[in-house]
């Protein structure tokens, strides 16, 4: 992120943790003093900028694990595009146990498209898209650690299910050529994200349609062999982020591709988490996507 972007003050640093540290006088959530918090709405832009510039040092001294960054709209879009072009990390969307990874690392060529309110990254084995609005917030963890994009829970409209559900044509496909392919929601029952399969194979479509309404475990028990053999695309999405993975599904006992891939791990899904506990956001925010500098955790 550029220095200019880091010091632009278009929003309050508040993350909903409003408690002053008795020793330093700084808020344990945002790093401001009580006086700065009280005066925030009346401060001019240069004064807010000056406070924003002081917060990283204060939060580090307080050992605060998560902080809000002052990025909005196109600033977020441009930063995401930078992560794709510099190829120094991995984007992940989904939930623990049901997620997709889009590596943008050295040795992988990523074609980047930037448009009005969106950014897309494409590789031969996957596509990643993020739509951006001024409601998106950027949360940084532990200095140079993961960065999680969040969205107000009160504004979420993503429809997810708790049973295997045919969704029809994938009208929101990243590339128009896939929009006529049929999309199926596995039914993992999360509010912030969903894990889907997409195919244009008539035989597989017929098999999957016949399993509508089944729990995802029962669906896989009946159709797992055909799914592995025909290897449909996996589509994992949140309110504004989507990763489509085209790499083959590993056979039983095999390992995931070193490139883009998905995880479907029952032992983690059983925990019912929307995001890893170590990357929990304030209660008002739902996770959209996470950027892991370097390599994401296993």
Task: Report DSSP letters for 186-206, one per residue.
Answer: -----SSEEEEEEE--HHHHH
For residue 150, list its beta bridge partners. 137, 287
CB–CB of 196/234 below 8 Å? yes
Range of the structural domain that residue 20 is part of: 3-65
* Residue 40 sits in the same domain as residue 169: no
Which of 65, 98, 116 is a domain's end point? 65
Q: What are phi and psi of 183, to 5 degrees?
A: -110, 140
* Residue 25 sits in the same domain as residue 109: no
Q: 0.75 cut: is pTM over it?
A: yes
- Token pair of 38, please? 């009280």
* Residue 84 sits in the same domain as residue 23: no
Instruction: Tell me the H-state helices in the chain.
Output: 3-6, 34-39, 45-61, 74-86, 202-209, 216-230, 266-269
Count CB-CB contacts under 10 A for residue 254: 10
* Residue 223 sits in the same domain as residue 76: yes
* Residue 33 sits in the same domain as residue 165: no
* Residue 281 sits in the same domain as residue 180: yes
**pLDDT tens, 137-149?**
999 997 778 999 9
CB–CB of 206/151 below 8 Å? no
* DSSP summary character for residue 294: S
pLDDT of the chain, 298 residues: tens digit per residue: 444 444 444 588 998 888 999 999 999 999 999 999 999 999 998 999 899 999 989 988 888 888 899 888 999 999 999 999 998 899 999 999 999 999 999 889 999 999 999 999 999 999 999 999 989 999 999 777 899 999 999 999 999 899 999 999 999 999 999 999 999 999 999 999 999 999 999 999 999 999 999 999 999 999 999 999 999 999 999 999 999 999 999 888 777 778 999 999 999 999 999 999 999 998 899 999 999 998 776 6
Angle between helices 216-230 and 202-209 (to 10 degrees): 170
Q: How many structural domains does the chain have?
A: 2
* DSSP summary character for residue 233: E
């Amino acid at each position: 992120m550029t220095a200019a972007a880091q010091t632009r003050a278009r929003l309050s640093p508040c993350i909903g943790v409003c408690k002053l540290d008795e020793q330093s006088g700084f808020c344990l959530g945002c790093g401001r003093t009580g006086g700065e918090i009280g005066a925030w709405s009346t401060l001019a832009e240069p004064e807010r900028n000056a406070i924003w510039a002081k917060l990283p040092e204060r939060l580090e001294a307080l050992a605060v694990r998560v902080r809000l960054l002052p990025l909005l709209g196109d600033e977020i879009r441009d930063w995401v595009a930078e992560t794709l072009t510099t190829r120094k990390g991995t984007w992940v969307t989904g939930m623990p146990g049901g997620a997709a990874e889009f590596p943008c690392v050295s040795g992988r060529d990523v074609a980047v498209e930037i448009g009005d309110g969106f950014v897309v990254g494409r590789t031969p084995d996957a596509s990643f898209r993020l739509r951006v609005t001024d409601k998106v917030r950027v949360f940084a963890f532990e200095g140079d650690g993961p960065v999680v994009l969040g969205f107000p829970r009160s504004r979420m409209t993503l429809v997810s299910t708790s049973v295997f559900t045919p969704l029809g044509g994938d009208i929101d496909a990243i590339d128009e050529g896939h929009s006529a392919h049929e999309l199926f929601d596995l039914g993992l029952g999360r509010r912030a994200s969903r894990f889907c399969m997409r195919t244009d194979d008539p035989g597989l479509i017929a098999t999957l349609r016949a399993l509508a309404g089944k729990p995802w475990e029962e669906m896989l028990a009946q159709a797992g062999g055909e799914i592995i053999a025909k290897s449909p695309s996996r589509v994992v999405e949140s309110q504004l982020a989507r990763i489509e993975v085209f790499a083959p599904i590993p056979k039983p006992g095999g390992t995931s591709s070193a490139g883009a891939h998905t995880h479907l791990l029952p032992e983690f899904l059983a925990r019912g988490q929307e995001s890893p506990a170590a990357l929990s956001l304030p209660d008002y925010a739902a996770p959209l996507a996470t950027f892991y500098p370097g390599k994401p955790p296993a």
